[in-house]
């Protein structure tokens, strides 16, 4: 009986393996003729480079038929209509932009109950709309609403998701911004901040979209259109490098490279050549974990040899060879560094020059022959955090230019190493303030705050300790 049961289990496992292999083969890169246009959020209507590229990939102004899936938004009708208006300014007719009525949230200001659109995911009418499209656009919002809408309760695809896959494999472009970018990879980042992830790792709980701003990393199953690694978005403004590192390292055996896309910026993915190209106002961060090593003895993240690169408009990256093609308008900075600023250079927050990490490694490290490494620190209210050490390697290089006739510095940087060390910080204020009240005398103040008159006189440079005034600010020594 035991042998029979074992045989049955082996057959079931074999069948599951085969079924998984068939599904993987059906949706693998070699079967995909379409492209991706992944925008990191906050796409401005004036960003002609990105809009025109999306239309071009969808077949051009004459042939493009764009389907909009507004499931992520709490205002599905509003953001569908907004995207229609934006595409019209770039030469499309409104009849070329189709609403794919899939949503989970009702927009209170409309007469339609958009939350009922969840019922459309397996309707033939919805599938028929998708089949007409040469491009699909996912609007921003909460990415978990998209997965909730397009996956069934058991995790399998709805008919609408299968239809999107069909046109993608046949040559359509799939685009999206913010939440519409997060769903692109198989591993979907749904919540957490860099410090929360570096300090505390992962959480299995998700409350709402506010959780994207704090706490440990939260991941779900994404739609898997991008099959080369984990994707994160709002990368520059929300400082998500740490979050991506924690999630990317956890998935490095399957996906050794992770990608972060800045706001108002597109990462264009060409499945036929397995290359990406950057378009827009910001950049794409590429994090390679091939040489990374993690020390699990610490509560916070401790890691060495993370390789980081940063690309901007016109730059390309070959995901197979891991080689970079830098915008030819840019000048090589290696051996021609502009700065000679001696170290140590330490970034401590909002008052530090080059506060964004990409500026930090561009200006302060790679284009500076006075130093080999720079450091930055982040920690919570209890002083728990990490030290980030960015350092040059033999493979590090940088490229610089003024682009578009302007005077703004554009930098591309490749192969900077990052080491992460756990820290514990104690913050002691030099002094607190006390406002003199009616009836106060210096000796009474000293006694109340467990100090003495002499220290108060010295710290506040008082010429006469007997002449303090009501409303006067006194510094209190911290001992």
Q: Could you tell me which residue, 351 or 181, shows the higher pLDDT?
A: 181
- Residue that is written with structure tokens 């993690």 in the block: 294
Lowest mean pLDDT among 153-157, 198-202, 205-209: 205-209
116 pLDDT above the threshold of 90 = yes
Compute the average pLDDT of residues 197-221.
Answer: 95
Q: Is residue 394 scored above 50 in pLDDT?
A: yes
pLDDT tens readout for residues 34-49 = 999 999 999 999 999 9
Nearest to 281 by CA among 260, 264, 259: 264
Q: Is the dihedral of CA 261, 267, 270, 273 positive or negative?
A: negative
* pLDDT above 90 for 164: yes
**Least confident stretch, 27-31, 243-247, 363-367:** 27-31
Task: Indicate whether 239 pLDDT > 60.
Answer: yes
Question: What pLDDT, on the 0 to 100 scale, is given for residue 19?
Answer: 37
**Cα-Cα-Cα-Cα dihedral sign, residues 347, 350, 356, 357:** positive
Which residues touch 418 (CB under 8 Å, ≥6 apart)? 245, 303, 306, 307, 308, 388, 389, 390, 391
pLDDT digits (tens, 9 = 90+) for 320-338: 999 999 999 999 999 999 9
Here the contacts of 74-81 (C-beta below 8 Å, separation 24 or greater) are 74/105, 74/107, 74/141, 74/142, 75/107, 75/109, 76/103, 76/105, 76/107, 76/114, 76/117, 76/139, 77/107, 77/110, 77/112, 77/114, 78/107, 78/109, 78/110, 79/139, 79/140, 79/141, 80/139
Q: How does the average pLDDT of the chain come out, rounded?
A: 92
Instruction: Calculate mean pLDDT across residues 361-380.
Output: 96
The helix (run of H) or strand (run of E) holding residue 87 is: helix 76-89
- Per-residue pLDDT for 202 more than 90? yes
Tell me the pLDDT tens digit for each residue of 256-310.
999 999 999 999 999 999 999 999 999 999 999 999 999 999 999 999 999 999 9
- Over residues 8-31, the mean pLDDT reads 46
Give the mean pLDDT of 61-70.
Answer: 98
CA distance 306 to 463: 57
pLDDT for 8 beyond 50? no
Query: Does residue 171 register a pLDDT over 90?
Result: yes
Residue 335 has a pLDDT of 95
Whether the pLDDT of residue 313 is over 90: the answer is: yes
| DSSP conformation class of 104 | S
pLDDT value, residue 479? 65
Q: Is 391 exposed, middle or buried (0-12, 13-18, 19+ CB in 10 A)?
A: middle
Is pLDDT of 23 > 50? Answer: no
Model confidence at 381, in pLDDT bands (50, 70, 90)?
Answer: confident
- pLDDT greater than 70 at residue 461: yes
pLDDT at residue number 6: 36
Instruction: Give the single-character DSSP code of 216.
Output: S
Q: Which domains does the chain have, with CATH numbers?
A: 33-318 (3.40.50.880), 337-424 (no CATH), 431-477 (3.10.350.10)
* Per-residue confidence (pLDDT) for residue 430, from 0 to 100: 67
Task: Give 421-458 pLDDT, tens digit per residue.
Answer: 999 998 776 668 899 999 999 999 998 888 999 999 99
pLDDT at 455: 92
């Amino acid at each position: 009986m035991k042998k029979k049961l074992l045989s049955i289990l082996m057959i079931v496992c074999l069948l599951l393996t085969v079924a998984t292999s068939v599904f993987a083969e059906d949706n693998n890169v070699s079967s995909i003729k379409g492209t991706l246009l992944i925008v990191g959020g906050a796409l401005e209507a004036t960003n002609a480079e990105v809009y025109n590229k999306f239309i071009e990939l969808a077949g051009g102004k004459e042939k493009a038929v764009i389907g909009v899936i507004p499931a992520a938004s709490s205002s599905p009708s509003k953001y569908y209509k907004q995207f229609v208006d934006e595409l019209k300014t770039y030469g499309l007719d409104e009849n070329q932009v189709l609403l794919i009525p899939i949503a989970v949230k009702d927009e209170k200001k409309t007469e339609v109950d958009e939350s009922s659109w969840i019922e459309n995911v397996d309707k033939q009418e919805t599938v028929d709309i998708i089949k007409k499209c040469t491009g699909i656009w996912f609007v921003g919002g909460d990415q978990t609403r998209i997965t909730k809408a397009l996956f069934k309760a058991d995790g399998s695809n709805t008919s609408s998701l299968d239809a999107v896959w069909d046109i993608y494999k046949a040559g359509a472009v799939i685009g999206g911004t913010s939440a519409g970018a997060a769903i692109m990879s198989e591993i979907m980042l749904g919540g957490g901040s860099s410090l929360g992830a570096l300090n505390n790792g992962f959480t299995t709980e998700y409350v709402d979209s506010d959780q994207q701003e704090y706490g440990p990393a939260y991941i779900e199953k994404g739609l898997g259109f991008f099959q080369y690694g984990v994707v994160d978005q709002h990368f520059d403004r929300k400082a998500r490098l740490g979050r991506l590192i924690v999630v990317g390292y956890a998935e490095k055996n399957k996906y050794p490279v992770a990608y972060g896309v800045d706001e108002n910026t597109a990462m264009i993915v060409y499945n036929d050549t397995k290359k990406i190209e950057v378009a827009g106002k910001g950049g794409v961060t590429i994090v390679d974990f091939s040489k990374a090593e993690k020390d699990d003895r610490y509560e916070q993240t401790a890691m060495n040899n993370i390789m980081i690169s940063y690309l901007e408009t016109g730059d390309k990256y070959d995901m197979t060879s891991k080689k970079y093609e830098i915008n030819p308008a840019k000048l090589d900075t290696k051996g021609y560094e502009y700065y000679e600023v001696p170290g140590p250079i330490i970034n401590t927050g909002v008052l530090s020059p080059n506060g964004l990490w990409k500026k930090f490694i561009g200006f302060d490290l790679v284009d500076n022959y006075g130093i080999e490494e720079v450091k930055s620190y982040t920690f919570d209210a209890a002083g728990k955090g990490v030290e980030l050490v960015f350092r040059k390697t033999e493979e590090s290089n940088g490229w610089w230019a003024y682009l578009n006739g302007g005077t703004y510095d554009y930098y591309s940087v490749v192969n900077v190493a990052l080491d992460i060390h756990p820290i514990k910080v104690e913050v002691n204020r030099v002094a607190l303030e006390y406002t003199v009240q009616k009836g106060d005398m210096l000796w009474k103040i000293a006694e109340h705050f467990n100090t003495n008159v002499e220290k108060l006189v010295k710290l506040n440079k008082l010429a006469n300790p007997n002449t303090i005034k009501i409303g006067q600010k006194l510094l209190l020594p911290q001992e």
